[in-house]
Chain A
Amino acid sequence: DGGITQSPKYLFRKEGQNVTLSCEQNLNHDAMYWYRQDPGQGLRLIYYSQIVNDFQKGDIAEGYSVSREKKESFPLTVTSAQKNPTAFYLCASSAGSGPAYEQYFGPGTRLTVT
């Protein structure tokens, strides 16, 4: 089955620790995205990558870092510099970048930092 997987589903960390969220897709999509969702709100773009070894900041990139070493993988690191890291994180992918391509989402990771 083709799809997007995110792991783990729930993640708990202590303040001051970096944490890496996994996102893998087997759809052969070129573009991948990371969004953050806070309770009762819409999704906000953190980072996106149009091709391997390239990525761009979204609207709320401060305190986050990404890498895109393989087409199918786009891990997100939440660093200790992120002031309010507790949130729901969603990864998405699309066949290409730009308005002509439909985005598909993974199941998400709920991160709680105490």
Chain B
Amino acid sequence: GIQVEQSPPDLILQEGANSTLRCNFSDSVNNLQWFHQNPWGQLINLFYIPSGTKQNGRLSATTVATERYSLLYISSSQTTDSGVYFCAAPSGSRLTFGEGTQLTVNP
């Protein structure tokens, strides 16, 4: 099955800083999902992005399917951005998740 790797595993920022999270996948995919898991465990859908770039407020995501990677950009980070960010790639009828990036934004 498809392999999904995320980097970095941990990231600590000061409020206001920008960051880039990376997701590499081992095979070509038709789309990619990015999620934010909040401290209560809820997975929030951030982006559903087959290719190209999408933006939602301070967050944007770019997927380059031909090169098998996706990037999540967080600008002007806030303490509420803290949590774990997951990317997930489809393999047949299922999603395969990466191990996540633990983001901590300090005030």
A residues near B, CB below 8 A? 31, 33, 35, 37, 41-45, 48, 50, 56, 58, 88, 90, 97-100, 102-105, 107-108, 110
Flag if A102 contacts B45 (CB, 8 Å): yes
Apart from the given pairs A33-B94, A45-B95, A99-B91, 11 other A-B contacts in the complex at a CB distance below 8 Å = A41-B99, A43-B86, A43-B88, A50-B93, A97-B93, A98-B93, A99-B29, A99-B31, A100-B30, A103-B33, A104-B45
Max chain A CB contacts within 10 Å: which of B29, B43, B90?
B43
* Complex Cα spacing A103 to B30, Å: 14
Cβ of A43: which chain B residues have Cβ within 8 Å of it?
Answer: 86, 88, 95, 97
Task: Tell me how many residues of B have a C-beta within 8 Å of chain A.
Answer: 23
Partner of B94 from the list A42, A45, A88, A102 (CB cut-off 8 Å) is: A45
**In the complex, what's the smallest C-beta–C-beta distance from B49 to chain A, in angstroms?**
10
Q: Do the beta carbons of B90 and A99 come within 8 Å of each other?
A: yes
> Is B41 in contact with chain A by the CB < 8 A criterion?
yes
B92 touches which of A33, A98, A102, A104 (Cβ 8 Å)? A98
Interface: B73 (CB within 8 A): no
Q: A42-B86, A43-B86, A100-B30 are in contact. Are A105 and B43 (CB under 8 A)?
A: yes
Question: In the bound complex, do residue B86 and residue A48 qualify as a contact, i.e. CB atoms below 8 Å apart?
Answer: no
- With the chains together, A103 CA to B43 CA distance in Å? 10
Partner of B42, one of A35, A42, A50, A107: A107
Determine how close the nearest CB of chain B comes to the CB of A93; give it in whole angstroms. Answer: 12
Interface readout for B52-88 with A: 1 if CB under 8 Å, 0 if not?
Answer: 0000000000000000000000000000000000101
Contact of A102 among B33, B91, B98, B100 (CB under 8 A): B33
B98 close to A42 (CB less than 8 A): yes
Q: Which of B41, B86, B90, B94 contacts A58 (CB 8 A)?
A: B94
